[in-house]
Each structure stands twice: as structure tokens, then as C-alpha cells.
Amino acid sequence: MKDFLKLMKRLVRPYMGSLFGSIGLNILSAVFNIFSFALIIPILQMIFGINELHYNFIPWDSPDAGIKDKLTENLYYYVSVMIQHFGASRALLYLGLFLGLMTALKCACYFGSAAVMIPLRTGIVRDLRVQIYNKMLSLPLGFFSQEKKGDIIARMSSDVGVVEATISTSLDMLIKNPILILFYFGTLIFISWEMTLFTVLVVPLIAWGMSVLGKNLKRESTEAQVKLSETMSQLDETLSGLRIIKAFIAERKMKDRFSHTANEQRRFTNKVAVRQSAAHPVSEFLGTLMIMLVLWFGGTLILSAHAPFDAPTFIFYMVILYSVLQPLKDFSRASYNIPVGLASMERIDKILGAENNIVEKADAKGIEAFKDRIEIKHLCFTYPDGNKEVLKDIDITLEKGKTVALVGQSGSGKSTLVDLVPRYYDVTEGSIFIDGTDIRDLKVRDLRSLIGNVNQEAILFNDTVFNNIAFGVENATREQVIAAAKIANAHDFIMEKEDGYDSNIGDRGCKLSGGQRQRISIARAILKNPPILILDEATSALDTESEKLVQEALDRLTTDRTTIAVAHRLSTIKDADEICVMHEGVIVERGRHEELIALDGYYKKLIDMQAL
């Protein structure tokens, strides 16, 4: 409960108005409820003829009687006066109408208290989703290389849904029920402190029973959510690799794998659900046991020679006691459901609490233009989750307007090196300088605004052609987008579509061919117009015809730009100002195309392999 209250303090702070409104309305609801139940006493007295007794009015400022005696005696007095003036039948009708009025006010306050909590509950859930999304955008790429995409999606959807359910069922109860319990127990003490003391000694039975049921619930709930994340991860892998699954006739294997994970998730979910289902019947039984014991004790007091109250008051006491049972059960059930929400919140907090190791210095410098050169000095790099050094003692100097190409076998560190320039990762040792300033001393936004990317996989969004080209460029006009598309050899195929630039390209650009997707990606980079360009195997996945169109677009794009190109097809980088040949994280050869051919080393071997 302590952890849940800390969580609520953290999430509820922006919605304190709704919280205090709910508290006030719940207090009024409890007061009206007690007054409506109090009318049971005179009604029962009239029905059973007890009202024939004579009552005297006790002045409210009289020092000779306590507040309890004044309230009881004066209530009976007013009822007897009503009977004398209107008769027993009409007095009974008036009491019934007043009971209805009190009940209506109680229900109105109850509805109001629930209604003012709705913006709070929905606001908390909205805030959580926005916080997770914003946090994911701020985290470095290294975080996502260590996490499964399906698991992150599960935390965003399923875990937030569990927290939402916990808040919806528990927050209102934790506000309303303590108020009801406080007022009801105050009334019980007012009627008879002896019986209430006996009742308080019995109440721990309910708490004990619920604590036995709730044992290990948080752990089992966490395991259930982990298994759900695994099913989501497998679903994501299946959708991404469906072509391969069918090509290798692996449907049966994937079905068995998914069924195993789904069965594991079902097993843990069953455990949680069974414990939750047991909460109501167990609390119901323990509550009935408590009523039985109080009936025995109270009945014994009434049958004694010195009964502290009459039979109608005892019935009123039992009604209030029975009324306090429901908030007690709800309170215990809420505290029983809370571990489920806390387990999901812990999984969410693994994202919200993740550290961003790409830290911008407080006195970071701004940079508006690239003027001179990029220098990579004695650079070494190891991934945070690995022990092997990926890059070792890399030195490259790239003058403005020049092109450097990185070539080498797969896994030699080419893509890793270009990811370090925009600070997707930070170097382990050494430095990268732009115009003489270490990139770690620059504002991240300014640094990345200087750099454009065209990757091997064209990353597009489920939106229109126009919005994909204009992505990240504020207030881009249609004329600017069309001009960029023409330079990228994309305008013609775009205009062939029914809606032209307003055509939706589908999920990840699935309605386009590979070459078309890449040309859209190039048009996006052209529109951004960055002084520094990173090409990461931009033509390696294309057919010959598409490659020709894309290469023409790239040639236009790289004109007068400082370019770092990762190349798989060596024919595309023959004219680079410098070619760096990488092998196992080390630059083993460097120079122009003709110079490297003359060396007859690694580069010559790569050329010969592609010529075969």
C-alpha cells in the first residue's frame, strides 16, 4: 500500500482539484447516508408502538446531559410531537419522504464523487502513455538494441492498461472507503463503544484472510506480463519475417513456439485470476462471520437487565455495521488488486527510469553551420552490452565538400562508425570534432540538424508522400517538396499515383517498390538540405535499374556536400576523395580508388570478388 500511495502522489499531482472534489462529495455522501439510516429508529418505534413512551426536550446548551442523550431524546421528542399533530400514519409518511430525500442527496453526492474522478483517471493514463512515448523518443539507439520491440509495445499497451484498470478500481475506493469507514465507525462508537470495541477486535479477520490470498500476487502478475511481452515479441517477429517463414516451410515450428509461450502466459494469468476471484467470496464469508459474532454479543447486551440501548437502536447499529462491511471489503479488495498494478508499473518504470547516456552538457555550444572539416581522432568504441571492441584507433579527416567512403566486410564496423557522428552513441575513447569542436560539447539538436541520412533500409511512415518528404522540415511548401522529388528522380512515379503527392504509401512504404522508397528517402534528405550527408549502403538492396535512378539522385544530392558513404557496391564510390578499407574495426588501407588497386591488398580483393 505504501508503494501505491507513492505512485498516486506522483501521478495525481496535476489533478488535485478532482481529488479534493471527490473527497468533499464523499464526505457529504457519508453524512446523508448516516442521517437516512438514523430515521430507521423512529420508524421502527412507531411500527412497534414504542413511540407511546413520553419524551422531554433537552435544551442543547444543557450541561446535565451529554450530546448523545440530547440527540436521542430530542429526536424522539420531535417525532412524538409530529405524531400528536398529524397522527401516526401521516408522521410515518413524512419520515419516509425525508428518508427518500436523504437517500436522493446521498446518491447525488455519490454520483458526483465518481464523475469528478473520471478526468483524473483518464488523465493519469494519458500522462503515462505520453511519458512513455516521449521517453522512448529521448532514449539513445543503444537502449532499443538491448530490448525487444514487442516487449516495449506490451509495456505501452498491456501494462498501461493494467495500471489504468488498477487506478479505475482502486483509486475511487481508496478515497471513498476510508471516508465511509471513518464516519461509520464514528457512528458506531457514538451508539455503543462497548460493541464497537468488540467489533474492532473481530475486523482483523478480514485483513488476515485477504493478506493470505494476496501473498506472491505481485510476483505472479509480473511473470504473467513478461510472458505476454514474449507473445507480443513473437508476433512482431512473425509479421516481420512472414516471407522467410513461408519460404522455409516453418509454419509448424512457429505455431508450436507461439503456442508454448501463449500457454505459459495463460498459466500465470490463471494463477492471478484465481486469486482475484477468491477475494469476494472470502471477504463475504469473513464479513458474515463478523456480523454473526456481533449479533451474538449485542443480543446478549439487550437481553441483560441493564441493556445500553433498545431494540430499534440495536437494529440501527447493525445496519450501520453492515454498511461499514462493504467499504471494508472494497478497501481490502482494492489493496489486493494493487500489487497487480504495481507489477505493471515497475515494468513501465524500466522505460521511464532508463538512463540516457547521450547527455548534453549544461554549457553546450550551438552550431548553425558547417564551415571547415570533420576530424575523427584515435576513436575506439565498444557497445554498452558487449566486451569486444568494435572500433579501434580510427583516424579520419574529412574536408568540407569532400567525400570519404567506408568499405569492408560485414561486421567490420562501418555502420557503427557513421552512427557515432550524429551521437546516436558516444565514443568509448578518442573524439569526433566538427570545425574543431568536440561533438560532445555541441547541442545535440544543432549537431543533428547539420546531418542528413539515407540508409540501406528506407524508413518511411504510414502517411502521404508529401508528409514523408517534408518529414522534419517545418513549413515546407508543396513547391519545395516537388523540387526535392524531381532532384531525387521521384516526381514521375509519384504523379502516376491516383492522388499524387497526397497518396498514402502504407505501413513502412509497403505500397512502393524498394527503389521508389529509397528515392522518397533521398528526396527527404534533399529537402532538409544538410551540409553533411551520411549514406549507409543506400543502393545495396536495389536492382540494376533502380540503382541507376537512385545513384543519379545521390550524385545530385552529394554535389557540394560533405559526404560519408558506407558502400557495399564498390562501383558507386570510385570517385570518392578517400576510401577507407575497414577490417575487424581497424582501417587497414586508405587512399583513392586507383591507389588502392595498385596496393593489391584488401580493396583489390573486394573488387575482384564483386567482379566474379
Q: Is residue 208 part of a domain?
A: yes
Verify that 35 and 58 share a domain, yes or no: yes
Per-residue pLDDT tens over the stretch 259-291: 888 888 788 778 777 766 766 676 667 767 777
Range picked from 36-50, 74-88, 379-393 for highest mean pLDDT: 379-393
Q: Which residues contact 93 (CB under 8 A, 6 or more apart)?
A: none
Own/partner long-range contacts of 491-496 (Cβ < 8 Å, ≥24 apart): 493/519, 494/465
Residues 114 and 148 in one domain: yes
Answer whether residue 557 is part of any domain: no
Question: Averaging pLDDT over each range in 46-55, 98-107, 588-597, which range is the top one?
Answer: 588-597
| Separation between Cα atoms, residue 446 and residue 589, nearest integer Å | 33
Of 278 and 513, the structure prediction assigns the larger pLDDT to: 513
Tens of pLDDT along 192-201? 777 777 777 7
pLDDT for residue 45: 62
348 lies in the same domain as 381: no
Last residue of a domain, one of 326, 352, 378: 352
* 463 plus 581 within the same structural domain: no
Q: Are 23 and 175 in contact (CB under 8 A)?
A: yes
Answer yes or no: are the C-beta atoms of 146 and 385 closer than 8 Å: yes
41 assigned to some structural domain: yes
Q: 409 pLDDT exceeds 80?
A: yes
CA–centroid distance for 120 within its chain: 16
Higher pLDDT, 114 or 381: 381
Grid coordinates belonging to 159: 501494462
- Which residues have C-beta within 8 Å of that of residue 340, sequence separation ≥ 6? 162, 166, 217, 218, 221, 272, 276
Counting residues of the chain whose pLDDT is more than 70, the rounded percentage is 80
Confidence of residue 15 (pLDDT cuts 50, 70, 90): confident
> pLDDT exceeding 90 applies to what percent of the chain?
7
86 or 379: whose pLDDT is higher?
A: 379
Stretch 304-316: mean pLDDT? 67
Residue 555 counted as domain residue: no
| Cell numbers describing residue 438 | 568536440
Would you state the cell numbers that stand for residue 485, as one nine-digit string?
A: 522529388
C-alpha cell of 34?
448516516
What was the pLDDT predicted at 547?
65
- Helix, strand, or coil (residue 148): coil
Average pLDDT, the chain: 78
Tens digits of residue pLDDT in 204-228: 655 565 555 555 555 666 677 677 7
Q: Are residue 221 and residue 311 in the same domain, yes or no?
A: yes
| DSSP assignment letter at 280 | H
d(CA 339, CA 214): 8
Q: Which of 4-8, 358-362, 450-454 has the lowest mean pLDDT?
A: 4-8
Structural domain includes residue 68: yes
The identity of residue 341, as a single letter, is G
Q: Given the C-alpha cell 412497534, which residue does it identify?
A: 48
Q: Please report the pLDDT score of residue 227 as a whole number.
A: 75
Domain endpoint, select from 310, 334, 352: 352
Instruction: Tell whether the model's pLDDT for residue 314 goes beyond 70.
Output: yes
Handedness of CA 281, 282, 288, 289 (dihedral sign): positive
pLDDT of residue 249: 76
The answer to whether 5 and 19 have CB atoms below 8 angstroms apart is: no
- Contact between 489 and 552 under an 8 Å Cβ cutoff? The reply is yes
Q: What is the pLDDT of residue 65?
A: 64
Determine whether 74 is exposed, middle or buried from the number of CB atoms within 10 Å of its CB (0-12, 13-18, 19+): middle
> Do residues 99 and 201 share a domain?
yes
Is 559 inside any structural domain?
Answer: no
On whether both 122 and 247 belong to a single domain, the answer is yes
> For position 120, what pLDDT does the model report?
82
d(CA 403, CA 265): 53
Reported as a single tens digit per residue, the pLDDT across 233-253 is 777 777 767 767 776 677 788
Under DSSP, is residue 53 helix (H, G, I), strand (E, B) or coil?
Answer: coil
User: Which tens digits make up the pLDDT trace of 520-554?
Assistant: 888 888 888 888 888 887 666 556 666 677 777 77
First-to-last C-alpha distance (Å) of the chain: 70
309 and 387 part of one domain? no
The residue with greater pLDDT, 251 or 67, is 251
Confidence tier at 489 by pLDDT (50, 70, 90): confident
Task: Please report the pLDDT score of residue 607 as a whole number.
Answer: 84
**Ramachandran angles phi, psi of 250, nearest 5°:** -105, 20
CATH of the domain at 439: 3.40.50.300
Number of domains making up the chain: 3
Same domain, 257 and 382: no
Q: pLDDT-based confidence at 376, cuts 50/70/90? A: very high
**Which whole number is the average pLDDT over 148-174?**
74
Mean pLDDT over residues 487-503, rounded?
Answer: 87
Same domain, 518 and 491: yes
Domain-embedded: residue 578 = yes
Whole-structure pTM value: 0.67
Decide: 98 and 82 in contact? Cβ < 8 Å.
no
Specify which residues 535 forms β-bridges with: 454, 565
Do 330 and 441 have their domain in common? no
**279, 274, 284: which is closest to 210 by C-alpha?**
279
Of 403, 423, 393, give the one whose Cα is nearest residue 142. 423
Residue with cell 515494468: 347
Q: Does residue 100 have a pLDDT over 60?
A: yes
| Digit-coded pLDDT (tens) for 106-133 | 889 888 888 888 888 788 888 888 888 8
pLDDT of residue 379: 92
Q: What is the pLDDT of residue 438?
A: 92
Among residues 352, 377, 406, the one where a domain terminates is 352
* Domain span including residue 409: 361-450+536-550+564-612
Residue 113, domain member (yes or no) = yes
311 and 373 in a single domain? The answer is: no
Phi, psi of 337 (to 5 degrees): -80, -20
